[in-house]
Amino acid sequence: MIRLTSHERLMRIFRGEDIDRPALKLWGAGYTVGRQLHEKYRPVSELAAQTTDIFTGCGGYGINLIAGTEIGRFTESWKTETGDPKWKDAHTVIHTPKGDLEAVYRESQVGDPGYDMQHYIKEAEDIDKILSLPYIAPTGLESRHYENAVAGVGDRGVAMIDIPHAAFLVQCLTGSETLAYLSVDARELIGGLCSVFSERLCSHVKNILETGIKEPIFCWVGPELFLPPLMSPKDFEDFVYKYDKPVCDIIHDYGGYVWVHSHGKVRNFIDSFIDMGVDVLNPLEPGPNGDVEMNEVVEKYGGRIGLEGNIEIQEILLSTKERIARLIDECVAAGEKSGRFILCPSAGYMEYARPTENYIENLLFYLKYGLETVEKYRR
């Protein structure tokens, strides 16, 4: 019988090597309990820190792809009242050489998710304004940031370097509706903006790798915003695959690995994720939000890519324990056949400011039953 530490288990999943059992993850859990969004989460955080395979973040390598280290020179921010004490509007203006761009974000004052009310790019001409900004890349990067994160999590798991995503940044600047229009009316400009951001990101990633860190894991989110129904399959290939593959290639050339988060219906795009160089794909949502049936995916792709997720957070939020147990049984039974499966909900667990007792109980059940289930497949 194989006995691996969480660190060994997760690294073997990234490498495509034999493991002792599927991994168990609660997205957002750390190896220490840390700050709680609400005190009701504390027993969940404590149990997850003890029992799950941990993914932790790593600071020190942040980058602004719009203007690099100079972004502060060009931005101005302030807040205004909305008439509702629960909300304030945060305004940010970027003063570019070709004119101002303003975005407005509605911030909750009680811990709820916020809303983008206005995006920087509203028409094609605004892309030129973004590109008119001077760009200064970060310098003086050090290996110690990643090495300290790895040492901190130790045998409990792995550390990941969170980097921006070129196409996702374009969508953040435009919003989905404007992006859809511009992808038709100004397609070359959208591609050009993705290209500029990707080139800057490739350079930044290479600079991180040249600090000498060993077997780093890089992660990003964003491809989901270029999947149907928001965008077309061709948009995914032209704006995601085309510009993500060079980043993945650089990471792999230096002995690193890639973790990618993409909600939505990804079943018909898994070949592209594999070809671009993704080592672990999350969260593999089942219907109706997604379209991943684990038996089908494992039968088609085997162990060619690490598979993480397949439990919707809504199920843990709203379903009975009996249904959650059945869902865990089904997805682990299917996923473990790949030899590269990580059981995980589709979103972070501590994202609801006022959790119900049922949600807390279901989170604890997910952890206990999930561990019991993955242990059934120990080799």
Q: What is the tens place of the pLDDT at every residue in 66-106? A: 999 999 999 999 999 999 999 999 999 999 999 999 999 99
Kindly tell me if the per-residue pLDDT of 198 is higher than 90.
yes
One domain, residues 117 and 243: no
The domain that holds 211 is classified in CATH as 3.20.20.210
One domain, residues 281 and 162: yes
Kindly tell me if the per-residue pLDDT of 1 is higher than 80.
no
- Does residue 1 lie within any of the structural domains? no
Average pLDDT, the chain: 97
- The H or E element that residue 320 is part of is none
Distance CA 202, CA 213 (A): 16
Q: For residue 136, name the pLDDT band (cuts at 50, 70, 90).
A: very high
Share of the chain above pLDDT 70, in %: 100
Measured in degrees and rounded to the nearest 5, phi and psi for residue 269 equal -120, 5
Amino acid making up residue 337: K
What's the pLDDT at 111?
87
Distance CA 327, CA 322 (A): 9
What's the pLDDT at 2?
80
Q: Are 161 and 60 in contact (CB under 8 A)?
A: no
One domain, residues 234 and 309: yes
Q: Look at residue 32 and give its three-state secondary structure.
A: coil
Kindly tell me if the per-residue pLDDT of 157 is higher than 90.
yes
* Mean pLDDT, range 224-228, rounded to an integer: 96
Task: Show the domain range for 301.
Answer: 6-66+137-375
What's the pLDDT at 178?
98
Amino acid making up residue 319: S
* Mean pLDDT, range 36-45, rounded to an integer: 97
Could you tell me the sign of the dihedral formed by the alpha carbons of 269, 278, 159, 329, in that order?
A: positive
One domain, residues 57 and 195: yes
Total tally of structural domains belonging to the chain: 2
Single residue among 107, 131, 155 that ends a domain in this structure:
131
Q: For residue 33, name the pLDDT band (cuts at 50, 70, 90).
A: very high
Share of the chain above pLDDT 90, in %: 98
Single residue among 102, 131, 160 that ends a domain in this structure:
131
Per-residue CA distances from 351 to 28, 112, 113, 294, 347 (Å): 9, 8, 8, 26, 8
* Mean pLDDT, range 41-56, rounded to an integer: 98
One domain, residues 359 and 275: yes
Kindly tell me if the per-residue pLDDT of 309 is higher than 90.
yes
User: Which tokens hold the place of 305?
Assistant: 């890519």
Tell me how crowded residue 154 is: count the other CB atoms within 10 A of its CB: 13
